[in-house]
């Protein structure tokens, strides 16, 4: 309420709006008071404009949600597929139906884990038969050759907890098509036809192989010869931690000709393939993608997130990059990740339009790359990386890192100049440029504190949800994220800004400044914070800074238009002006957030029960939307009856909690074929044997080992499986006393999947042959001993090694180079080795060299050996079958029989 110079508003609402006075009352105020008052004035008519009503802000929120919903719907749009019946109307086009027919044949044989008949014989024969038909019908202008590679090798892999990967007789099918006159340069296209245990592997990655067959057919019939070679690699052991691709790129006769590659993968069934890794360096690869594909979807932000290790996954891209020293492009489908690596990954989950979209993108891209000048001289065009992103799937925006720095620095400078202009044109008496910037920095600090307070609030809300036993409601229905976590993410910052923002505008002692100034400084202080974040992106070479630069740029435009067109009017017009200016970055960020949630939400259902998925997901979601809505928060200072906005959002939040607690709408899983979101269970029937230092058996157990893949496991199914009442959680004492908790971990994931359960059962019905024999101990120079071993077991074996204090591992025959360490166990170094034999199983012979001090007495090493029966008629025991048959239809299972033996030597 204006009564005298700089008099503060008298109540809560007065902090948020200007109560209008008659023109006569306003006219008698001194000039310096009018200059410092909150100006809602229309200069042309001499009538003060009214501040924005709460419905304006709420309408902005509603429209924003509507935009987000539209983007989510558009995300599912796919091109019209070409079918066998109309392919004559589309010569030289990719035919989606033919590709799907290939996939139907491949998946009809069932799961294809490495070592199975389905993978090593049936799938290989199927692919070779199709390839031979294509070669017979190829145009004479092309030279087409094929090869079947059976390869053995080993390599270290810094993935998950770190491992050494050893393989024997894995298979690759390779087809090379090129000009009649031989070329020394090739483009590699890769897929894998093996699958994980129990999954038919339609999307991961049979569909990519089916698409490659159709691409090979179309290219082989083109009349114009290729300038260079295309090598189609159908690799047979990717799910075994990328073994077959390593065997190809390091040992095949054609590998040395490869100059670039395209890797086709999936972490979901269908949808749109995203380019999420490109390079390293070689910007011409991304430029070719940008110039040719009709349906782009790519982001350097996705690349930085994936390569940070946040997402627990990897692809053959790593192998070609690290071991082949080749640059390339990595594509993956990410929609419907609920069926990824499950029995539900079937052909019917992949829309025909997905085949068409991927084929229509890959065909011109392949032809562009293989016929390019760059592929014939890749070193000449190898320098530099690009910042890139697609705009709503319409076109690709990309620029070099140097240009990115120039753009970002220019944005920083211009934005700072605009803030300086605002500071120098402050109409409040006694408020200097220095005071303005000082208050802006204070508001930047306040914004950071508000962010932290918001995340703290969200953490408390997520813990409340956990205490109410309503975890993962958003797993089957991601809309719960909006009601539970996005709504308070909008509400909390606005409340805190209203309550504490004025204190950060404190001028001289006992003085307050008008609401208009409070809005300007809050807006500019927020802008200043993002300028600092953008500067940090420049200094740290973070290419994702393009998103920050876009927000800062549009916010600067909004400020300039406010200062010019609206002539500093602080009514509802500025609210809509600002919302309109920020629409482009909002749509882009909503588009990227939608893609991120599409990927991350299903991952939370298989990330392990020890990872507090509810809190993690709530904080991830809140953090993303906190950054987006930071640019809208200052607008709340322009509203009348702001408590209407607060109460509306608070009601949404409260009603959501009540619905979640008192209705079944928050049930986290779904077995509906049209909306699958199953709970996953990985259960192994295990025989455990523990041998002491003297070789005697010190313990022997049989049981079902339940690997808890989410926070509701296994308590969610207790009423369906009465046997689970007797399940006990593997204790910390067991993990302290036994290497890898004395359990047959298939891959090294104990740091994030450590919470598991055990049910005692009778012994396995069919014994798993598993033994480790110390065949020779050789004492060498410098206190070094060589221990030679022979391991006998099934075609999948894991070997864990830990050294007692004072013992050092000097070398081994398992891989070249220094042995790769895993996580410490009881303060001792551990090593995890994964071994598979795809054909012709023979004993696995290897040696290790250890350095033993002369004063050492007693045990030197501890070994855990696991054998996994992952296919064939004896994969499931009667106990496993019984348990699986009891599970409800909203679950999906993976299981096999394992043996574990522990040795102390």
pLDDT in tens, 770-799: 999 999 999 888 899 999 999 999 999 999
Let me know: does 412 contact 534? Beta carbons within 8 Å.
Answer: yes
- Distance between CA atoms of 187 and 371, rounded to whole angstroms? 10
pLDDT digits (tens, 9 = 90+) for 253-272: 999 999 999 999 999 998 89
Assign 504 a pLDDT band (cuts: 50, 70, 90): low
- Assess contact for 134 and 177: CB atoms under 8 A: no
182-207 pLDDT, tens per residue?
Answer: 999 999 999 999 999 999 999 999 99
d(C-alpha 210, C-alpha 193), whole Å: 9
Q: What dihedral angle (degrees, nearest 10) is formed by the CA atoms of 814, 819, 822, 828?
A: 110
Residue range 702-753, pLDDT digits in tens: 999 999 999 999 999 999 999 899 999 999 999 999 999 999 999 999 988 9
Q: What is the band of 351 on the pLDDT scale with cuts at 50, 70, 90?
A: very high
Q: What is the pTM of this model?
A: 0.91
Query: Is residue 8 very low, low, confident or very high in pLDDT (cuts 50, 70, 90)?
Result: very low
The pLDDT value given to residue 46: 36
Q: What is the DSSP string of 417-448?
A: HHHHHHHHT--STT--HHHHHHHHHHHHHHHH
Q: Are 891 and 680 in contact (CB under 8 A)?
A: yes
Using DSSP, state whether 567 is helix, strand or coil: coil
Q: What is the DSSP letter of 492?
A: H
Look at residue 4 in the predicted model and tell me its pLDDT: 36
How many CA within 13 A on the CB side of residue 705?
25
Averaged pLDDT, 101-113: 98
Residue 293 falls in which region: left (phi positive, over 0), alpha (psi -120 to 50) or beta: beta
Share of the chain above pLDDT 70, in %: 92
CA–CA gap between residue 34 and residue 45 (Å, rounded):
17
CA distance 540 to 535: 9
Mean local confidence (pLDDT), 649-673:
95
Distance CA 44, CA 772 (A): 92
CA distance 394 to 137: 36
pLDDT of residue 5: 35
Nearest to 901, CA basis, from 747, 808, 773: 773
pLDDT of residue 171: 98
CB–CB of 476/677 below 8 Å? yes
Average pLDDT over all residues of the chain: 90
**SS3 category, 209:** helix
Inter-CA distances, 389 with 261, 277, 322, 583, Å: 20, 12, 25, 17
H or E stretch including 792? strand 784-792
Torsion-angle region of residue 198: left (phi > 0), alpha (psi -120 to 50) or beta? Answer: left
Dihedral sign computed on CA atoms, order 82, 84, 88, 89: negative
**Dihedral angle over CA of 879, 885, 887, 893, nearest 10:** 70
Write out the H or E segment, with its range, that includes residue 553. helix 545-564
Percentages of the chain per state (helix, strand, coil), in multiples of 5: 45, 20, 35
Residue 23 has pLDDT above 70, yes or no: no
Note whether 646 and 68 are within 8 A (CB).
no
pLDDT at 506: 57
What would the pLDDT profile of 617-638 be if each residue is shown by its tens digit? Answer: 999 999 999 988 898 889 888 8
Higher pLDDT pick, 44 / 308:
308
pLDDT tens digits for 458-475?
999 999 999 999 999 999
What is the rounded distance in angstroms from the CA atom of residue 644 to the CA atom of residue 653? 14
Q: In whole angstroms, what is the distance from residue 167 CA to residue 796 CA?
A: 10
Of 246, 244, 230, the closest CA to residue 179 belongs to 230
634, 517 in Cβ contact below 8 A? no
Specify which of 164-178, 293-307, 568-582 reaches the highest per-range mean pLDDT.
164-178
pLDDT range class, residue 568, cuts 50, 70, 90? low
Cα dihedral 705→710→712→714 (10° resolution) = -10
> Are β-strands 830-837 and 186-192 bridged in parallel, bridged antiparallel, or unpaired?
unpaired
Question: Which strand (E) or helix (H) includes residue 453?
Answer: helix 433-467
| 7 among known catalytic residues | no
Task: Please indicate whether residue 642 or residue 658 has the higher confidence score (pLDDT).
Answer: 658
| Position 27 pLDDT exceeds 60 | no
d(CA 288, CA 343): 37
Q: Round to whole Å and give the CA distance between 591 and 217.
A: 35
d(CA 681, CA 606): 9
Q: What percent of the chain has pLDDT over 90?
A: 76
Question: How far apart are alpha carbons 610 and 735 in whole angstroms?
Answer: 15
Asked if the peptide bond before residue 891 counts as cis, ω within 30 degrees of 0, the response is no
DSSP class of residue 81 equals: P
Of 732, 731, 728, the C-alpha closest to 757 is 728
The residues pairing with 261 across neighbouring beta strands, listed in sequence order, are 188, 328
User: Can you tell me the distance from the alpha carbon of 266 to that of 311, in angstroms, rounded to the nearest whole number?
Assistant: 14
State the pLDDT at residue 6. 35
Angle formed at CA 698 by CA 693 and CA 701, multiple of 5 degrees: 135
Q: Angle at CA 339, nearest 5°, toward 334 and 340?
A: 55
Catalytic one of 120, 238, 273, 879: 238
Q: What is the dihedral sign for C-alpha 526, 531, 536, 538?
A: positive
Among the listed residues 640, 548, 552, 633, the one whose alpha carbon sits nearest the alpha carbon of residue 55: 640
Cα distance between residue 737 and residue 745, in whole Å: 16
Cα–Cα dist 402/409, whole Å: 11
Q: At 301, phi and psi to the nearest 5?
A: -65, -45
Which candidate, 155, 184, 342, places its Cα nearest to that of 251? 155
Taking residues 123-129, report their average pLDDT: 98
The DSSP annotation for 639-672 comes to BSSHHHHHHHHHHHHHHHHHHHHHSGGG---B--
Confirm if 821 and 895 have CB atoms less than 8 A apart.
Answer: no
Q: How far is Cα 282 from Cα 372, in angstroms, rounded to an integer?
A: 13
Please give the helix or strand (H or E) that residue 487 lies within, else none.
helix 487-500
pLDDT at 509 over 80: no
Which residues is 229 bridged to in the sheet?
Answer: 186
Strand 186-192 versus strand 229-235 pairing type? parallel
Whole-angstrom distance, CA of residue 263 vs CA of residue 332: 8
- Position 17 scores a pLDDT of 38
Confidence band of 54 (pLDDT split at 50, 70, 90): confident
Distances from the Cα of 266 to the Cαs of 14, 99, 273, 719, in angstroms?
A: 56, 16, 8, 35
CA distance 628 to 536: 18
For residues 250 and 186, is the Cβ–Cβ distance under 8 A? no
Rg of the chain taking only CA atoms, in angstroms: 32
């Amino acid at each position: 309420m204006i009564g005298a110079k700089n008099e503060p508003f008298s109540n809560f609402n007065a902090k948020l709006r200007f109560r209008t006075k008659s023109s006569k009352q306003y006219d008698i105020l001194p000039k310096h008071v009018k200059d410092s008052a909150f100006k809602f004035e229309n200069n042309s008519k001499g009538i003060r404009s009214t501040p924005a009503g709460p419905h304006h802000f709420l309408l902005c929120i509603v429209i924003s949600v509507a935009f987000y919903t539209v983007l989510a719907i558009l995300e599912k749009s796919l091109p019209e597929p070409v079918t066998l019946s109309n392919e004559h109307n589309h010569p030289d086009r990719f035919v989606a139906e033919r590709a799907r027919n290939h996939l139907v044949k491949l998946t009809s044989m069932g799961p294809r884990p490495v070592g199975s008949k389905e993978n090593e014989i049936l799938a290989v024969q199927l692919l070779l038969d199709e390839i031979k038909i294509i070669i017979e019908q190829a145009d004479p202008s092309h030279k087409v050759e094929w090869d079947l590679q059976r390869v053995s090798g080993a390599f270290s892999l810094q993935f998950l907890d770190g491992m050494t990967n050893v393989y024997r007789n894995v298979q690759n099918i390779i087809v090379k098509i090129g000009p009649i006159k031989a070329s020394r340069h090739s483009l590699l296209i890769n897929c894998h036809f093996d699958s994980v245990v129990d999954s038919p592997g339609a999307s991961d990655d049979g569909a990519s192989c089916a698409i490659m067959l159709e691409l090979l057919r179309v290219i082989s019939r083109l009349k114009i010869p290729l300038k260079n070679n295309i090598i189609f690699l159908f690799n047979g052991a990717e799910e075994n931690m990328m073994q077959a691709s390593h065997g190809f790129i390091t040992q095949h006769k054609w590998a040395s000709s490869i100059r670039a590659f395209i890797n086709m993968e999936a972490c979901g069934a269908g949808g749109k393939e995203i380019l999420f890794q490109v390079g390293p360096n070689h910007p011409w690869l991304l430029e070719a993608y940008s110039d040719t594909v009709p349906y782009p979807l790519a982001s350097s932000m996705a690349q930085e997130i994936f390569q940070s290790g946040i997402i627990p996954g990897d692809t053959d891209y790593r192998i070609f990059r690290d071991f082949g020293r080749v640059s390339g492009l990595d594509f993956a489908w990410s929609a419907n990740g609920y069926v990824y690596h499950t029995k539900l990954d079937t052909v019917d989950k992949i829309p025909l339009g997905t085949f068409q979209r991927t084929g229509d993108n890959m065909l011109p891209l392949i032809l562009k790359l293989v016929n390019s000048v760059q592929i014939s001289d890749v070193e000449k065009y190898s320098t530099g990386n690009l910042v890139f992103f697609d705009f709503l799937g319409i076109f690709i925006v990309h620029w070099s890192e140097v240009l990115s720095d120039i753009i970002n620095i220019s944005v920083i400078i211009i934005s700072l100049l605009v803030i300086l202009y605002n500071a120098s044109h402050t109409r409040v008496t006694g408020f200097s440029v220095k005071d303005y910037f000082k208050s802006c920095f204070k508001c930047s600090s306040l914004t950071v504190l508000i962010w932290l307070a918001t995340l703290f609030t969200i953490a408390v809300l997520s813990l409340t949800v956990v205490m109410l036993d309503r975890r993962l409601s958003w797993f089957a229905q991601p809309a719960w994220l909006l009601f539970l976590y996005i709504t308070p993410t909008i509400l909390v910052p606005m409340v805190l800004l209203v309550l504490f923002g004025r204190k950060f505008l404190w001028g001289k002692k006992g003085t307050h400044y008008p609401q208009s100034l409070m809005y300007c400084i809050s807006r500019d202080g927020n802008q200043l914070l993002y300028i600092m974040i953008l500067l940090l992106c420049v200094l740290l070479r973070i290419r994702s800074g393009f998103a920050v630069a876009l927000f800062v740029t549009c916010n600067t435009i909004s400020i300039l238009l406010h200062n010019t067109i609206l002539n500093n009017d602080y009514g509802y017009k500025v609210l809509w002006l600002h919302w309109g200016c920020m629409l482009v970055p909002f749509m882009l960020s909503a588009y990227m957030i939608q893609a991120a949630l599409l990927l991350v939400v299903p991952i939370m259902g298989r990330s392990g029960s020890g990872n507090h998925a509810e809190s993690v997901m709530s904080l991830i979601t809140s953090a993303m939307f906190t950054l987006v809505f930071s640019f809208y928060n200052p607008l709340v200072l322009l509203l009348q009856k702001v408590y209407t906005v607060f109460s509306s959002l608070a009601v949404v939040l409260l009603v959501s909690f009540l619905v979640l607690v008192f209705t079944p709408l928050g049930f986290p899983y779904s077995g509906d074929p049209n909306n699958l979101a199953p709970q996953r269970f990985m259960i192994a029937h295990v025989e455990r044997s523990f041998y002491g230092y003297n070789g005697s058996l010190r313990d022997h157990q049989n049981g079902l080992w339940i690997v808890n893949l989410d926070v509701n496991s296994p308590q969610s199914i207790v009423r369906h499986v009465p046997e689970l009442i007797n399940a006990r959680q593997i204790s910390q004492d067991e993990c302290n006393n036994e290497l890898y908790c004395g359990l047959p971990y298939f891959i090294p994931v104990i740091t994030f999947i450590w919470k598991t359960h055990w049910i005692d059962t009778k012994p396995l019905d069919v014994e798993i042959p598993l033994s480790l024999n110390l065949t020779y101990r050789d004492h060498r120079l410098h206190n070094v001993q060589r221990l030679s071993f022979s391991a006998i077991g099934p075609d999948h074996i894991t070997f864990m090694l830990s050294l007692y204090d004072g013992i050092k591992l000097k070398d081994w025959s398992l891989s070249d180079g220094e042995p790769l360490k895993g996580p410490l166990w009881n303060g001792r170094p551990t090593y995890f080795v994964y071994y598979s034999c795809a054909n012709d199983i023979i004993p696995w012979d290897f040696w290790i060299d250890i350095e033993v001090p002369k004063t050492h007495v007693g045990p030197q090493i501890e070994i855990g050996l696991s054998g996994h029966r992952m296919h064939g008629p004896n994969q499931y025991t009667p106990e496993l079958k019984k348990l699986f048959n009891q599970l409800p239809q909203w679950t999906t299972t993976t299981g096999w029989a394992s043996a574990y033996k522990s040795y102390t030597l």
